[in-house]
A and B are shown apart, each in its own frame.
Chain A
């Protein structure tokens, strides 16, 4: 395979020649473009997801890409169509059920989300076995592949990203209000339920897009790690949103470059780089917080004395 031959060479230590090598092949340019589009969408939508503490729902919607892709294969449609249908349907189910919940605490919503996820994956496995034994490339459905992305796919991804980001730009302010303080927002006449349902649908759209590059199981890394890292670094809204996007892009580029030069799966590199960024931010945060905690304690001791 092409990358196998290239992987043997590895990167030289000259960044400029490495960069020109990275962009020398059209397939790699397509992968970088697609990765960038996906990282921007995931960075923005994921930022709201982390703020709304909907990581579990996000993960559930993202694994729906697997039944989506296998169902599409089974009936002979494009995988992308299957992604959007299944992620959208799961978002609707979770949103509708959240509206019909009985007043019994938060555990019930998570039980529902977990059930939706398991049933979705079970359907995916069923479609896979109906399709005929174990599909040769089921791994790339689950874990992603950056090879063979066409220019047309890049354009389609860009279109979806523009729609998703446009919707968020319109609904961003009330959504932010509803996410930070649901009750006050509701009292002020913000339609918090409709916004919640709409956001889940948007999340489904975003993960269906992202899954095409990262695979169903690893979307979540791009959705959760950059925003969580950004929100650790700064609590201010606009800077952390921008930081989330920038981190997402950097993580994707570094991951793609590593996968290009060293012959291991791109999903491994992207998740590892994302995890490293989060760990560094978390350690830095706790180091930065420590002196202030000490001084607060000293002040309290002084006040007591």
Chain B
């Protein structure tokens, strides 16, 4: 028998697939909108005619556009995103080499943001109107107003250049060297995670205040349950809507990593993307954007599943 969770997930996947399809059409179409002959745009007008012909063949420019698209997607599903004419590398290989770096960075930002937001939101809500709440509220407002790249530069000036405590540029994989790897991820993680921490702090605070207002908590308190456990109960309920926001923010972290990689010279997918833009390497560009978007959509599906799982009403428990 199909459980409600399974049915729900299938529905979400059925939503995600057309979105991905549409997104891929848009990316594909956009690249074709580049004025002029893409082959000449990529190689320059005085390029070797044989290479121009090879690029046209690789792009399938002689076929009708829908054939080109179907070919591209067919290959993409099998993991082949084409070969870059600038670097002469397989795009999927280039992405595979960079993807773990970007994911570790995003994860670092995610951990930092929750490590800040959960205590900050709880303290802010339970100390409503007091100094701590003011600090939490100010953080919520400032955190979303400071662009992450500038926060990164300020951290670089303070911790990297003046205090010399942490590495300011580069990347070591935490899989190869956990201690160094984490040291390299601390400043980028804070840079990336602060904005999300601010958003989640605000959201958690207001949801928790809403929850603490409910009468049922008084009843629980009167039964002699400790304040801490009452808070725990309220927090669990307050978290349900917060999860959606956390999920959406995770996607933004992925986008923000492009900027943070640039600040801290981290060789991730964002650098690959910027290099591709700089060298008009449209084959790499469309592959990278497609992979980012796939992750973004996948995260949304996972978040919806988590939301479903946390929310007893949706789960329909008997």
- The answer on A and B forming one complex is no
Footprint of A on B, CB under 8 Å? none
Residues of chain A at the chain B interface (Cβ within 8 Å): none
